[in-house]
Amino acid sequence: MPENANTGTPGNVSRDSRAYPMERDGEVTSSLYLVQLTCPQCGKSTLHAEFPDHYEAWIKCSSCGFFMGMSHDEWHSMENSPNLNEKIKKMARKKKILEL
């Protein structure tokens, strides 16, 4: 067998956390600090985060239809912040989803 043949064994594989983000359940409606997520567009507490795969997060409002996608790393960084709702609003303005 050639030296570089793929034998199905992983060998020395780095387990970088950015490559393997933590598993999430289907939906989140509050921050790690148990703050209810508030929609930056309509102001209602009907905002939730969904995780369609290991690499992205979707922020959706069931009242007004607000939608914003982001990377899982961006969500994780914001979720660990005590002012999550303000960070969501700031990101929506930066992405030009919300008017200034």
Give strand pairing partners of 48.
Answer: 60
Q: Which residues pair with 36 in a beta bridge?
A: 30
- Cα 82 to Cα 80: distance, rounded to the nearest angstrom: 7
pTM for the predicted model, two decimal places: 0.69
Longest CA–CA span in the chain (Å) reads 63
Assigned domain for 79 exists = yes
Residue type, 34: L
Q: Which residues make beta-bridge pairs with 79?
A: none
* Number of separate domains in the chain: 1
Reading the chain (100 residues) residue by residue, the pLDDT tens digits are 455 554 444 444 433 333 334 444 567 888 776 788 999 999 999 999 999 998 999 999 999 999 999 999 999 989 888 899 999 999 999 999 887 6
Nearest CA to 61 among 89, 22, 95, 96? 89
34 within a domain of the structure (yes/no): yes
Could you list the residue range(s) of the whole structural domain that residue 70 is in? 27-94
